[in-house]
Amino acid sequence: MKQPPPSLAGTPAASPLGYFSWAFGQAARDPFYIMVVIYIFFPYFSGVVVGDPVLGQSIIGYINATVGFVLAVSILFLGAIADKIGRRKPWIIGTYGTIAVGSLLLWWVQPGDAGLSLGTSIGLIFLVMVAFAYAEVFHNAMLPSVTPADKAGQVSGLAFALGNFGGVTMMVFVLFAFALPGVQDWSFLPEQPLFGIDQSVNEHDRVVGPIAGIWLVLFILPVLLFTPDGQASGVTWQQAAREGLGEVMTTLRQLIKHYSNIAVYLLARMLFNDGMVGVLIFGGVYAAGNFGWETITLLIFGLTTSVSAMIGAYVGGLLDDRLGSMRTLKVSIIMSAIILLVLTSITPDTLFFVVPVSTEAVWAFPYFSTVAELTYLATNQVFALFFVTGLSASRTLMAKLSPPEMATQFFGLYGLSGSVTAFLAPLLVAVVTDASQSQRVGFASLVVLILIGGVMLGWVKEEQATRASS
């Protein structure tokens, strides 16, 4: 009987059904972030529920900062407990279940006295965001043990592709079922939004919460049913907590001494990841201010970007396995920096800072009708390709660098490196924008984070660490 290939952890890898089911788990999780955080619900919460976009953005910033603090003081500890117990699925069930229930409750987040109070809504959003961050860590920590070593990049890329596919599917449904009907009289659209959704009270914005929750419950099932979990160690929760806390303290003390290579990588990732995520988040904000784009235009913008990200994730995964995670990541960082500068070179009547273009519509489609808008849209698609390629390669590189038996702890550090400084990119953009009084200059300042992180990556060696002796 043919033996299964070795995983990155050195143990027999899961069957194709097992590791493809693991990848499919990201299709359950990512649509929530795409729909709720980036494109629909958070803008609705900021502009409608809070009623003041500036105050709303501040509240969202404080929520994210608090989530980052909670992660900073807890995720390594929880990761160590999970490593000691050996099984990750109970944690996945708990975190994903919290996300699903919280997403359903987002339907009642409304302005004034119509739904949940503002304080309760803020608390609900905070809870769901913390659960999402935990779920990401526990799900990622399964990668080293379930995927064949020579397919880790491909499977990681496939997971991101499936995550974006899920987001695309949901955005298409929301766009054609709830957002466009009653706004456009296109023959293929329903005359009114489906299921009696009332756009006048923003039900087309709020419905993305329940949809994301139901979607998550359905599509996390393959992971739970077909992806093998780690073996239960027999260690009690109390013993795991004691030993886990001690191991976390040891890991932190040894991070610089024994795991200095990983420490440099995590620090580099803090910077280039913040910058690249900032481009993703502020790309729509810059476009809305630059071109005057409204909700439907931004939704289409997000839809096309997610399609490009889906393609980039899968292709990037293949490149990861062929070129290596490090080389793939460096290419992604360099291209992201270049594309950011191209994006900031575009205004309604100018390309590449100096090339004048007409502001007249070039086609009858009511969205993205000018040369500048189409160029911005196309350039952002290229960014999405390299951005998700970089995300996939950075995750695979973390799996290759980490001691296999400490995967959850180090993926906790990995998750922490992606969230603990999440305030940095927005703060940089805000300060530079305010100082320069230029949206363009503020947006372009993200290139500093990307390039510094990229330079630091040059000091990282692509080699797996061994567990340090106590």
Domain boundaries, the chain: 16-457
Quote the distance between the C-alpha of residue 75 and its chain's center. Answer: 17
Quote the distance between the C-alpha of residue 153 and its chain's center. Answer: 17
Is residue 133 scored above 70 in pLDDT? yes
Query: Which parts of 10-140 are beta strand (E)?
Result: none
Most confident of 54-63, 242-251, 360-369, 454-463: 454-463
Q: What is the pLDDT of residue 422?
A: 61
- In one letter, which amino acid is 147? T
Are 409 and 77 contacting, i.e. CB atoms less than 8 angstroms apart? no
Is residue 79 scored above 70 in pLDDT? no
Give the chain's length.
470
Q: Band of the pLDDT at 273, cuts 50, 70, 90? A: confident
Q: What is the pLDDT of residue 251?
A: 66
Quote the distance between the C-alpha of residue 1 and its chain's center. Answer: 40
Is residue 89 scored above 60 in pLDDT? yes
* CB-based contacts of 91, cutoff 8 Å, min separation 6: 78, 82, 134, 138
Are 309 and 385 contacting, i.e. CB atoms less than 8 angstroms apart? yes
State the chain's mean pLDDT as an integer: 81
- In one letter, which amino acid is 73? V
Distance CA 20, CA 29 (A): 15
The neighbouring-strand residues paired with 181 are 184
- In one letter, which amino acid is 311? I
* CB-based contacts of 292, cutoff 8 Å, min separation 6: none
Q: What is the pLDDT of residue 391?
A: 80
What's 14's DSSP letter? P
Q: What is the pLDDT of residue 121?
A: 92
Q: Band of the pLDDT at 137, cuts 50, 70, 90? A: confident
User: Residue 454's closest CA among 320, 268, 278?
Assistant: 268
Q: What is the pLDDT of residue 59?
A: 75
> CATH assignment of 16-457?
1.20.1250.20
The long-range contacts involving 236-244, CB below 8 angstroms and separated by at least 24 positions, are 237/81, 237/85, 239/84, 240/80, 240/81, 240/84, 240/85, 241/81, 243/80, 243/84, 244/77, 244/80, 244/81, 244/83, 244/84
Q: What is the pLDDT of residue 436?
A: 78
Q: What is the pLDDT of residue 122?
A: 92
Residue range 145-163: mean pLDDT, rounded: 80
Task: Compute how many other C-beta atoms are within 10 angstroms of the C-beta atom of residue 169.
Answer: 15
Q: What is the pLDDT of residue 394?
A: 86
Phi, psi of 327 (to 5 degrees): -65, -40
**Lowest-confidence region among 99-108, 318-327, 441-450:** 318-327
Residue range 41-63: mean pLDDT, rounded: 74
Q: What is the pLDDT of residue 465?
A: 57
Phi, psi of 451 (to 5 degrees): -70, -40
| Residue pLDDT, tens place only, 177-205 | 898 888 778 788 888 888 888 888 888 88
Q: What is the pLDDT of residue 226?
A: 92
Is the backbone of residue 43 left (phi > 0), alpha (psi -120 to 50) or beta? alpha
Q: What is the pLDDT of residue 464?
A: 64
| Residue pLDDT, tens place only, 378-404 | 998 999 888 888 887 887 888 788 777
Distance CA 378, CA 344 (A): 13
- In one letter, which amino acid is 359? T
Residue range 147-157: mean pLDDT, rounded: 79
Phi, psi of 450 (to 5 degrees): -60, -45
Helix ranges restricted to H, 324-438: 325-344, 371-401, 407-419, 424-436
Phi, psi of 351 (to 5 degrees): -120, 145
Q: Band of the pLDDT at 61, cuts 50, 70, 90? A: low
The neighbouring-strand residues paired with 351 are 355
Residue with tokens 């500068």: 341
Q: What is the pLDDT of residue 16?
A: 85
Percentage of the chain exceeding pLDDT 90: 15
| Residue pLDDT, tens place only, 237-271 | 677 667 766 766 776 677 777 777 888 888 898 88
Phi, psi of 24 (to 5 degrees): -65, -25
Are 272 and 467 contacting, i.e. CB atoms less than 8 angstroms apart? no
Are 204 and 179 contacting, i.e. CB atoms less than 8 angstroms apart? yes
